[in-house]
Chains A and B, each alone.
Chain A
Amino acid sequence: MLDAIDKELLRSVADLEGIPKGAYNIRKNGKLLGREVSANIEIDAHPDQEGIVVRIAPGTVNESVHIPVILSQAGLHDVVYNTFIVGEGADVTIVAGCGIHCGGSKSEGHEGIHEFRVEKNARVRYVEKHVAIGPGKGKRILNPTTRVFMAENALAEMELTQLGGVDEAHRVNEATLSAGSSLMISERVMTEDDQTASSENRLFLEGDGSRANMVSRSVLKGTSRQDLKVNLVAKARCFGHIECDAILMDRAVNKTLPALEALHPDAELTHEASIGKIADDQLMKLMSLGLDYDEAVNRIIQAFLK
Chain B
Amino acid sequence: MLELKDLTFTAPEDDGAPARTIIDHVSYRFEKGLFYAVTGPNGSGKTTLAKLVMGILPAESGKILLDGTDITEFSISERSRAGIAYGFQNSARFKGTTFRDLLSIAAGTDDEEKLVRIIARVGICSLDFLDKPVDAKLSGGEIKKIELATVIARNPRVAIYDEPDTGIDLWTIEPMVDLLKREQESFGTTTIVVSHNKTFLEAADRLLLIKGGKIAYEGALPEADSLLADLSACNYTTICEGEDNAGCYR
Contact = CB atoms under 8 A, between A and B. Distances in A.
Interface stretch (B24-32, B58-66, B72-80, B182-190): B72-80
Contacts, number: 69
A303 B92 CA distance: 14
A247 to B, nearest CB: 9
Interface residues of A, number: 21
A51 to B, nearest CB: 34
A281 interface: yes
Given A217-B95, A284-B56, A291 B77 contact: yes
B101 A281 contact: no
Contacts of A279: 92
A266 B91 CA distance: 38
Nearest to B108: A290
B80 A285 contact: no
B96 A288 contact: no
Interface string B97-138: 110011001101000000000000000000000000000000
Contact of B81 (A245, A284, A290, A306): A290
Interface stretch (A87-95, A130-138, A292-300): A292-300
Contacts of A304: 94-97
B154 interface: yes
Dominant secondary structure of chain A at its interface with chain B = helix
Contact of A281 (B76, B92, B105): B92
A303 B77 contact: no
A146 B154 CA distance: 47
B88 A281 contact: yes
Given A285-B92, A289-B106, A299 B101 contact: yes
For B77, B91, B154, the residue with the greatest tally of chain A CB atoms inside 10 Å of its CB is B77
Contacts of B75: 287, 292-293
A289 B96 contact: no
B90 interface: yes
A300 B97 CA distance: 7
Given A303-B97, A303-B101, A284 B92 contact: yes
Contacts of A289: 80, 102, 105-106, 150, 154
B192 interface: no
A255 to B, nearest CB: 20
Contacts of B54: 288
B96 A306 contact: yes
A303 B131 CA distance: 12
A288 B85 contact: yes
B96 A217 contact: yes
A305 B95 CA distance: 9
Contacts of A305: 96
A286 interface: yes
A274 to B, nearest CB: 9
B91 A285 contact: yes
Contacts of A287: 75-77, 80
A293 B76 CA distance: 9
A38 interface: no
B161 interface: no
A282 interface: yes
A300 B135 CA distance: 13
Contacts of A284: 56, 76, 88, 92
B92 A291 contact: no
B249 interface: no
Contact of B154 (A285, A290, A299): A290
B80 A290 contact: yes
B86 interface: yes
A299 B104 CA distance: 12
A290 B80 CA distance: 5
A285 B77 CA distance: 10
A265 B79 CA distance: 57
Interface string B140-168: 00000000001000100000000000000
Nearest to A247: B95
A245 B77 CA distance: 27
Q: Which of A279, A286, A289 has the most CB of B within 10 A?
A: A289
Given A285-B88, A287-B75, A300 B94 contact: yes
Most buried by A among B85, B86, B95, B96: B95
Contacts of A245: 95
B239 to A, nearest CB: 20
Contacts of B77: 287, 290-293
Contacts of A292: 75, 77
A65 B84 CA distance: 51
A281 B56 contact: no
Given A299-B105, A303-B101, A288 B76 contact: yes
Given A284-B92, A290-B108, 4 more contacts: A289-B80, A290-B154, A303-B94, A303-B96
Interface of B: 54, 56, 75-77, 80-81, 85-86, 88, 90-92, 94-98, 101-102, 105-106, 108, 150, 154
16 contacts: A281-B92, A284-B56, A284-B76, A284-B88, A285-B88, A285-B92, A285-B150, A287-B75, A288-B56, A289-B154, A290-B80, A290-B105, A290-B154, A291-B77, A293-B75, A303-B97
